[in-house]
Structure 1
Amino acid sequence: MFRSPRLLVAARVLAGLNQSQLANAAGVAVSVLQAIEQGRSDPKLSTMLALVDALKARGVMLAPETERVAGGVLVMKDSQTEAVWRSGT
């Protein structure tokens, strides 16, 4: 889904969550989240969707990478979108 686990870390930090809080909100084990963030795991789609949904509930969205656009993190603020791009490379 994302080429770099750093995007997930950036999104989590911008959401103001530690690993335990995000894992709990997404219903996954902390060890699973740690493995994903460290690039040691190729997570199931359902796991990534749960993490994305938990972040989105806190106003942070992950922008997927394409061949032309580097992925990034969008921060939702007062019903307006402020783009905060974090390169995955």
Structure 2
Amino acid sequence: MKVKLLGYLAYRVGHDTVEVYGVRSVRELIRSLAKFYGMEEVFFKDGDVWEGVLIIVNGKLVGIDFEDLKEEDEIVLSLPTAGG
């Protein structure tokens, strides 16, 4: 599935879009990305996926417990940002 990365995530990976295969849940997706790109400190807090990660699946905001990912889904991941 295609995963679009925004902001700092795209910067860390070096691309704004990556392909991920064989995952069915958001937790699996994030664990896979964290391991492959060495970003555990970005995605995890207290040993679990940080709930502050913004996850959009097919245009809808979902939580880290979303478990119905399909290969054709369009996913966007971002971290919260501050500004002013």
TM-score w.r.t. length of structure 2: 0.32
Higher relative contact order (CA 8 A, sep 6+): 2
Structure having the higher strand fraction is 2
Structure having the higher helix fraction is 1
TM-score w.r.t. length of structure 1: 0.31
